[in-house]
Amino acid sequence: METLAQQINIEKTKHSKIDQVDFDDLSFGSIFSDHMLVCDYKNGNWETPKIMPYGPISLDPSAKIFHYGQSIFEGMKAYKDADEQVWLFRPHDNHRRFNISAERMAMPEIPQAYFMEGLETLIGLEKAWIPSTDGSALYIRPFMFASGKGFHASPADAYKFLICLAPSGAYFSGKVKVLIEEKYSRSADGGTGFAKAGGNYAGQFYPTQLAAKKGYHQVIWTDDHKHEFIEEAGAMNIFVRLGDTLVTAPTSDRILDGITRKSILQISERENIKTEVRKITVGEVVEAAQDGSLKEMFGAGTAAVISPIATFGYRGKDYDLPELENSYASRLKKRIVDIQYNRAEDPFGWRYGI
């Protein structure tokens, strides 16, 4: 019996763009590989995926993505080691979370074979697009949106699932300065904050623009009730080091269950770094900054892995964090990246070879 991968029709591009790419100077997510995977959901079933040249897609103006925002995505990376072997990092967790997002947005789940075999087939075709420069990787964007037509405010009857690939360099570079938000909220109880839904990110842009006008790179999101508790850092989970203890907020309706976040907690436990998963008040962080017990703050996510915060602003005052030689951020990032690039043992079974 044929596997799904054997059924995927592949239409190869006649003109590859790869020779036009400087792999030693890659921005993040702005250059795309030659091919993409596309799969349609119609009449209650997923059709056989196909791989075609990367390019525009055609949609009816009444497609419900434009009107009611049914859209979800994931962020992943493929890595190439010194022997040219290709690796993914915890891909089944991405598939699981994709379907959690789909359920919350009243969209059909994508079967594991479609997600994994489609992904492996596409990456196998595009292996040459995986950068070998240290710190770079092939960013993978699986996403789904409502393609069904109509102005009626209800879930669509048709959807498109795509996977596109972008060879990418570092997401952030340099010191990151953030502003603790006191007016706007990223999400609310009972909402969609735990899903990787497009609208969650669209709603972040305006407050982030306001912060940028004040000289900050990103916003630290607080709870929607009293803006008392620190929850996320921009589009990433947040960690705060108080003394020798690493603290992060618990997941909830408002907070994404980040795969990098989970990895940091597991590595910390293995390396005897004390961690606490609990609510963190803004007042606690400010007081710790004032008395010197605040050692580190960093964001954690697929794109940046770990992004150290150099300064945070709150109520008109900036607080600089100390520069540490042996920071938890650098130590934990090295552990994760060494597993991803197959430079160290993987005691957790996270690395997935293609």
CATH number at residue 204: 3.20.10.10
Residue 317 within a domain: yes
Structure confidence at residue 133 (pLDDT): 87
Structure confidence at residue 1 (pLDDT): 72
Number of domains in the chain: 2
Residues 209, 330, single domain; the answer is yes
Q: How do beta strands 280-281 and 275-277 pair?
A: unpaired
Read off the pLDDT of residues 41-63 as tens digits, 9 standing for 90 and up: 999 999 999 999 999 999 999 99
Report, as an integer, the average pLDDT of 225-249.
Answer: 96
Task: Answer with the one of 168, 199, 219 that is the final residue of a domain.
Answer: 168
Q: What is the mean pLDDT of the chain?
A: 96
- Cα distance between residue 342 and residue 80, in whole Å: 8
Structure confidence at residue 2 (pLDDT): 80
Residue 255 within a domain: yes
- Cα distance between residue 195 and residue 146, in whole Å: 16
Structure confidence at residue 128 (pLDDT): 98
Residue 350 within a domain: no
Say how far residue 209 (Cα) sits from the centre of its chain: 20
Task: Answer with the one of 168, 186, 220 that is the final residue of a domain.
Answer: 168
| The two three-digit tokens of residue 154, written as one number | 């209800």
Whether residue 174 has pLDDT greater than 80: no
The model's pTM is 0.96
**In 3D, which of 100, 264, 94 has the Cα closest to residue 195?**
100
Task: Answer with the one of 168, 197, 231 that is the final residue of a domain.
Answer: 168
